[in-house]
Chains A and B, each alone.
Chain A
Amino acid sequence: MTTPTIIDVSGVSKRFVLHQHKSLKERMVAFATARKYQEEFWALRDVDLQIPTGSTVGLVGHNGSGKSTLLKVIGGIIQPTTGRVQRRGRLAALLELGAGFHPDLTGRENVYLNASILGLTKAETDRYFDEIVAFSGIESFIDTQVKFYSSGMYVRLAFAVSVHVDPDLLLVDEVLAVGDEPFQRKCLAKIAEFQREGRTIVFVSHSSDQVAQLCDRVVVLDRGRMVHDGSPADGIRVLRETFEAAHAASPRVEHADGTLTTGARIDDVRVTSTSTDLSGDFTPGGDIEVVIDYTVGDVPAGWIAGIDLETPVGQGVYRVNTEGLGMELPTTPGEYSLAIRLGGSALGAGSYQLHASLVTPEGRDLDRRQPAASFSVSTERGGVGVVHFSTSAELSTS
């Protein structure tokens, strides 16, 4: 059976007009100067997206990329300027926990009100009520006005209501970042349960770890346009690239013959291992050597070169730089080779990416290669993970 589409976004654009004047006087002045203070910008540009049932899609992008707007358009809270969104099944939008909670009403009254806002009938709320209260863990305060709740209690009750409305489609906007750790674990467990039950989840997140952990698909937005739609690993790489574009490197003057007068440049990065298998994959136990060839033009004293080792989905594995190694890098112009030796590799099976960077002491980029190199590690057998142990097991009768 093919999985049915639950959301169909086609050709959606959204234009916002920014009014900078609110008072009558300002408006008249603006009118006289031919409305030049009315700015418009496109929060979304020609977005096409089909989401099949049961998938978990992460919307990522940096601030102002339009990811929250897209979520609101899918939720029907904002109407697109052009294009159309089609949807089916029951929707629950967790754009803000406790939207519609009234501070003067008790927890119980708010549960009924909020459940009704999310589309539950009174009879259904009656049925889920005990479960909701148990999930939130605030039984003894349920008849207290919510204005006396701590922010944690408030959020817990709101989340409890939202996950009990039996949605086919759950829209989540950053709300998973709230609450204490046990509660966050509870939320993530609930999300995993939702995924098993074939519910569709679309969520906006800033955390690439969370995206890597939860999503089976990532959509990257950059200034309103969809720049990637596919696997989380690629998505996170694309996201990084858009971050980099925003992260302006300091100017560098290069001559045609390759010499530099200002800044520094990474010319090449090589990774080798003293222990590899027949296919060229690294094997545990060997020394990994990273060689960075770079050219120095004019750099401030105390500048730093570093490497960053990550999994393809962006989980950090190891990072080290010359500052941490207590090494002072020369500032005289010229070409250099820096070799960093990672002795006795204990990396687990999988592929890894290596980023290299040259930065000023203040943390500004001189040059950055992301990723600069990649390699794979194979292990013969045993456990799975980013680290490798020479694991053995023994069985005895007792």
Chain B
Amino acid sequence: MADPAAFHRAERIASLPLIEVGRHGGFLTGTGQAIRDIWHRRELLGLLVRRELKARYKNSSLGLVWSLMRPLSQLLIYYFAVGQIIGLARAIPDFAIFVFVGLTAWMLFSEIVSNATVSIIHNQGLVKKVYLPREIFPLASVGSALFNFAVQFLILVAAMVALQRVPLTGEILYAVAAFIMLVTFATALGVLLAGVTVYARDLEHLVEVVLAVLFWASPVVYSFGFVRDVIGGTVLEQIYLANPITIAVMGFQRGLWIAGSDPANGIVWPPDMAWRMLAVFLFSLVLLWVSQRLFSRIQGNFAQEL
């Protein structure tokens, strides 16, 4: 050890504790370690989110504008086809805002879930060659979905200002709570699906199908009142309301669609919405924890399964 730099390095290393490589700890105690690991790599998480966003539109001349085109085109489709032609706009006041609020919430959910599901597979180059806390990949999908959500939300705000329908009432808290709840729930599903899809690739396609079904199982383009008219008071209604996405979408609508709070319009909301949202939120937290533990269990074999 002639070199002083070598000597100092050895001295410094001698002072560090030996740390066991990889994930360990029991089913109950590993969460803290996982959270610490991810927290240490938060800068990387930010870069991965940016990579995902940048790479998506890098070669298109319109770039980010495309992330607006999809929701706007959907808004137009539902506004004209469902609102004007089928005639729902006559039963639902401020139909454009109603649909856009629902679509924004729905797209946040579906983008998180569908992108997170394939996140490990799409990043297999990294998963196989570098050790990172692998939860970072589904979380990066959540990050990029949140960015797109923010862009859409700005348009929504602009539209509400233009139409003079800015929701500055206490009801807006519903939207805030619904947002937190929806992100938690979608992240929990995303982490779970990201891990399991590595072993069962069919899930990638199954998720797409299920998402298409779930879109119509939530009151995005129709209002809850129609559901109540058909299955009100039955077990089916309770099943319908047990869907976390339904509750979240209605939370957004109740907070941001002021025509819904106007007693003159006679819009019905399910009873005990605040309690339902709390219940779903708590359920999502538990699900998130279980997903993470499961993910942690199976991530040790990702490198060889991919």
| Cα–Cα, bound, A95→B303 (Å) | 13
Residues of B within 8 A of A118 (CB): 130
**Given A78-B304, A88-B16: A117 touches B51 (CB 8 Å cut-off):** no
Q: Which of B6, B41, B125, B300 contacts A100 (CB 8 A)?
A: B125
Instruction: Kindly provide the distance from the CB of A266 to the nearest chain B CB, expressed in whole angstroms.
Output: 44
| Cα–Cα, bound, A60→B165 (Å) | 71
Interface flag for B275 (CB, 8 Å): no
The CB with the most chain A CB atoms within 10 A, among B22, B41, B202, is that of B22
Residues of B within 8 A of A74 (CB): 21
Q: Which of B13, B51, B132, B304 contacts A53 (CB 8 A)?
A: B13
Interface flag for B10 (CB, 8 Å): yes
Interface flag for B263 (CB, 8 Å): no
Closest A residue to B299 by beta carbon equals: A79
Of the listed stretches A192-200, A208-216, A218-226, name the one at the interface; the rest are far from the partner chain: A192-200
Instruction: Kindly provide the distance from the CB of B123 to the nearest chain A CB, expressed in whole angstroms.
Output: 8
B6→A197 contact, CB < 8 A = yes
**Given A78-B300, A89-B13, A117-B44: A99 touches B18 (CB 8 Å cut-off):** no
Residues of B within 8 A of A24 (CB): 202
Interface residues of A in 98-138 (CB under 8 A from B): 99-100, 102, 104-105, 109, 112-113, 116-118, 121-122
Residues of B within 8 A of A260 (CB): none
Q: What does the 1/0 interface line of B81-101 toward A look like (CB < 8 Å)?
A: 000000000000000000000
Interface flag for A87 (CB, 8 Å): yes
| Cα–Cα, bound, A4→B44 (Å) | 31
Interface flag for A54 (CB, 8 Å): yes
Interface flag for A75 (CB, 8 Å): yes
Interface flag for B169 (CB, 8 Å): no
Interface flag for B17 (CB, 8 Å): yes
| Cα–Cα, bound, A1→B6 (Å) | 12
Interface flag for B128 (CB, 8 Å): yes
B20→A84 contact, CB < 8 A = yes
Across the A-B interface, give the 8 residue pairs with the lowest CB-CB distance, nearest first. Answer: A198-B6, A79-B300, A99-B129, A4-B14, A76-B131, A86-B18, A88-B16, A85-B21
Interface flag for A375 (CB, 8 Å): no
Interface flag for B272 (CB, 8 Å): no
**Given A54-B1, A77-B130, A117-B44: A8 touches B303 (CB 8 Å cut-off):** no
CB within 8 Å of A: which residues of B? 1, 3, 5-7, 9-14, 16-23, 41, 43-44, 47-48, 51, 54-55, 58-59, 125-126, 128-132, 201-202, 300-301, 303-304
Main SS class of interface, B:
helix
Q: Which of A1, A73, A79 contacts B23 (CB 8 A)?
A: A79
| Cα–Cα, bound, A9→B207 (Å) | 41
Residues of B within 8 A of A54 (CB): 1, 6, 9-10
Interface flag for A336 (CB, 8 Å): no
Name 11 A/B residue pairs within 8 A (Cβ), A-sorted.
A86-B18, A87-B18, A88-B18, A99-B130, A105-B58, A112-B47, A116-B43, A116-B47, A117-B130, A145-B58, A198-B3
Q: Which of B16, B19, B44 contacts A116 (CB 8 A)?
A: B44
Residues of B within 8 A of A88 (CB): 13, 16-19
A197→B5 contact, CB < 8 A = yes
A197→B58 contact, CB < 8 A = no
- Contact residues on A (Cβ < 8 Å of other chain), bracket: 35 or more
Residues of A within 8 A of B47 (CB): 112-113, 116
Interface flag for A279 (CB, 8 Å): no
| Cα–Cα, bound, A118→B43 (Å) | 12
B54→A109 contact, CB < 8 A = yes
| Cα–Cα, bound, A72→B17 (Å) | 21
Interface flag for A6 (CB, 8 Å): yes
Residues of A within 8 A of B304 (CB): 16, 78
Interface residues of A in 1-33 (CB under 8 A from B): 1, 3-6, 8, 16, 22, 24
B58→A85 contact, CB < 8 A = no
| Cα–Cα, bound, A74→B12 (Å) | 20
B59→A104 contact, CB < 8 A = yes
B9→A77 contact, CB < 8 A = no
Closest A residue to B202 by beta carbon equals: A24
Q: Given contact pairs A198-B7, A198-B9, enumerate 18 new A-B contacts (beta carbons under 8 Å).
A: A4-B10, A5-B18, A24-B202, A54-B9, A78-B300, A78-B303, A86-B21, A89-B13, A95-B130, A105-B54, A109-B54, A112-B47, A117-B130, A121-B43, A196-B5, A197-B9, A198-B1, A198-B5
Closest B residue to A80 by beta carbon equals: B22
Interface flag for A96 (CB, 8 Å): yes
Residues of B within 8 A of A145 (CB): 58
Instruction: Kindly provide the distance from the CB of B11 to the nearest chain A CB, expressed in whole angstroms.
Output: 8
The CB with the most chain B CB atoms within 10 A, among A16, A77, A91, is that of A77
**Given A105-B58, A117-B132, A196-B6: A76 touches B22 (CB 8 Å cut-off):** yes
**Given A77-B129, A197-B6: A89 touches B22 (CB 8 Å cut-off):** no
Instruction: Kindly provide the distance from the CB of A70 to the nearest chain B CB, expressed in whole angstroms.
Output: 12
Closest A residue to B301 by beta carbon equals: A79
B9→A79 contact, CB < 8 A = no
Closest B residue to A103 by beta carbon equals: B55
Residues of B within 8 A of A6 (CB): 13
Residues of A within 8 A of B14 (CB): 4, 53
Interface flag for A335 (CB, 8 Å): no
| Cα–Cα, bound, A6→B126 (Å) | 24
B55→A104 contact, CB < 8 A = yes
A196→B3 contact, CB < 8 A = yes
